[in-house]
Amino acid sequence: MTGLDPETIRKDFPILSRTVRNGKPLVYLDSGATSQHPVQVLDAEREYYERHNAAAHRGAHLLGEEATSIYEDARAKVAGFIGAEAQEVVFTKSATEAINLVAFSLTGSIKPGDEILISELEHHANLVPWQQLCLRTGATLRWFTSLPDGRIDVDPSLITERTKIVAVTGQSNVTGVIPPVADIAALAHEAGALVLCDAAQSVPHHPVDVKALDVDFLAFSGHKMLGPLGLGVLYGKYDQLDALPPFLTGGSMIEVVRMEETTFLPPPAKFEPGVPAVSLAAGLGAAVDYLTALGMDNVAAHEESLAAHALGALGEIPGVRIIGPVTTEDRGGTVAFEVEGVHAHDVGQVLDELGIAIRTGHHCAWPLHRALSCQASNRASFYVYNTHSEVDQLAEGVRYAKQFFGV
């Protein structure tokens, strides 16, 4: 028993009461891809458009002032949620853009012979931008390999004086593995390297404190934590943000513009050109309020109990292989699995016919799938509104899929 009551929570999520294929109730087990939204978030966005819509940080009128304060309030809420200061929170389009921002802005400070260290667990969003940085600069990409159970083999010898940045996931989007980010950060800092944590799967699911992790940068997406699509967050230690040149440039991020040259505002404005996405920020602020009211320890405990249930229920089906750890130790509520003799896409299709939405494929983590000898997996990812009965339906659905394909 955990401190969350998913049945009560579900009443806040209109989409969860709709039916899907064959008139089946929706069993949404794909929150790792994107989460659903409570009415509190939808209302915050609607209220913004109905009463306050204006271009924030501009205009001499009341609406502009209100939009600015809604936007900045949201920034302060997000900062509080991760233990940061408001000026250390940059709004981006997504976690992907946040990571690209750092990778692009570091270009001028990386040279041939330098090394960028990542892990084999990474989502492509925390892999491809570093490959591209290496191509631009002549630096070399290195990585911690994954162990057979999907955990990171943290080999300290890979961190040397050549290492300029270590970028690791806070939680694997495939296996749910939670790597020892604080330990990795300590090793990296000893060697003088910067540290970025891809927290797209961790900030939504368990308490994250940037000061305790002691990372220099941390990236996540609002849409995976009950917030709107289209708004991401880059946390950066203020001095690190201050030291980076801007990424995207234009209006709102400037101090003085002359035809010959431009100077820039301090962070976070330096990284937020253009008219801010205030409705999205209003929604994300409401999502932070919602999660805070539930309590992130409760969120993590609820997901752990669902993961334990799923690992047991799926693990006892003959021919089902769990991809990743089979215990809940240092792992979140994401469970990937293969069904012997049935391609993941076929499993996904049969489950879809039953109203059960999961993700199938390589989940933008192709190298990890290769490392774990898995071409494509099925992934169920849980969140605050999922129930134990849905886990049972998933397991029953997998048994039915096996029967359907005669394996």
Ligand X SMILES: Cc1ncc(COP(=O)(O)O)c(C=O)c1O
Summarize as ranges the residues that interact with ligand X (CB under 6 A): 94-96, 123, 125-126, 169, 173, 198, 200-201, 221, 232, 364
At closest approach, how far in Å is the CB of 262 from ligand X? 28
Q: Which is nearer to ligand X, 68 or 279 (CB)?
A: 279
Strand, helix or coil for residue 406? coil
Question: What does the DSSP 8-state code read for residue 145?
Answer: P
Q: Which is nearer to ligand X, 306 or 368 (CB)?
A: 368
Strand, helix or coil for residue 169? strand
Would you give the end-to-end CA distance of the chain in angstroms?
35
d(CA 87, CA 145): 35
At closest approach, how far in Å is the CB of 159 from ligand X? 21
Q: Map tokens 């970028």 to a residue.
A: 167
Q: Which is nearer to ligand X, 307 or 350 (CB)?
A: 307
d(CA 320, CA 316): 8
At closest approach, how far in Å is the CB of 197 from ligand X? 10
C-alpha distances in angstroms, 293 versus 77, 85, 314?
13, 20, 32
For β-strands 232-236 and 254-257, DSSP reports them as unpaired
Picking from 140, 198, 154, 190, the residue whose alpha carbon sits closest to that of residue 174 is: 198
Q: Which is nearer to ligand X, 96 or 387 (CB)?
A: 96
d(CA 198, CA 201): 8
Picking from 308, 246, 276, 283, the residue whose alpha carbon sits closest to that of residue 108 is: 246
- 388 strand-pairing partners: none
Q: Which is nearer to ligand X, 179 or 355 (CB)?
A: 179
**How many helical (H) and strand (E) elements, i.e. helices and strands, does the chain have?**
13, 15
At closest approach, how far in Å is the CB of 319 from ligand X? 27
d(CA 380, CA 353): 16
Active-site residue 364, yes or no? yes
At closest approach, how far in Å is the CB of 326 from ligand X? 21
Query: Which residues are CB-neighbours of 385 under 8 A, at least 6 positions away?
Result: 6, 9, 10, 13, 16, 28, 36
Please state, as a whole number, how many other Cβ atoms lie within 10 Å of the Cβ of residue 336.
31
Q: One-letter amino acid identity for 84?
A: A
- φ, ψ (nearest 5 deg) of residue 306: -70, -40
Picking from 275, 290, 269, 174, the residue whose alpha carbon sits closest to that of residue 222 is: 290
At closest approach, how far in Å is the CB of 64 from ligand X? 29
Q: Which is nearer to ligand X, 123 or 402 (CB)?
A: 123
Catalytic residue among 134, 197, 364, 374: 364
Q: Which is nearer to ligand X, 68 or 100 (CB)?
A: 100
Q: One-letter amino acid identity for 169?
A: T
At closest approach, how far in Å is the CB of 170 from ligand X? 8
Q: Map tokens 């209100």 to a residue.
A: 66
DSSP 60-72: SSHHHHHHHHHHH
At closest approach, how far in Å is the CB of 205 from ligand X? 11
Percent helix / strand / coil, the chain, rounded to 5: 45, 20, 40
Q: Which is nearer to ligand X, 57 or 224 (CB)?
A: 224
- State both tokens at 353: 């016919």
Catalytic residues: 364
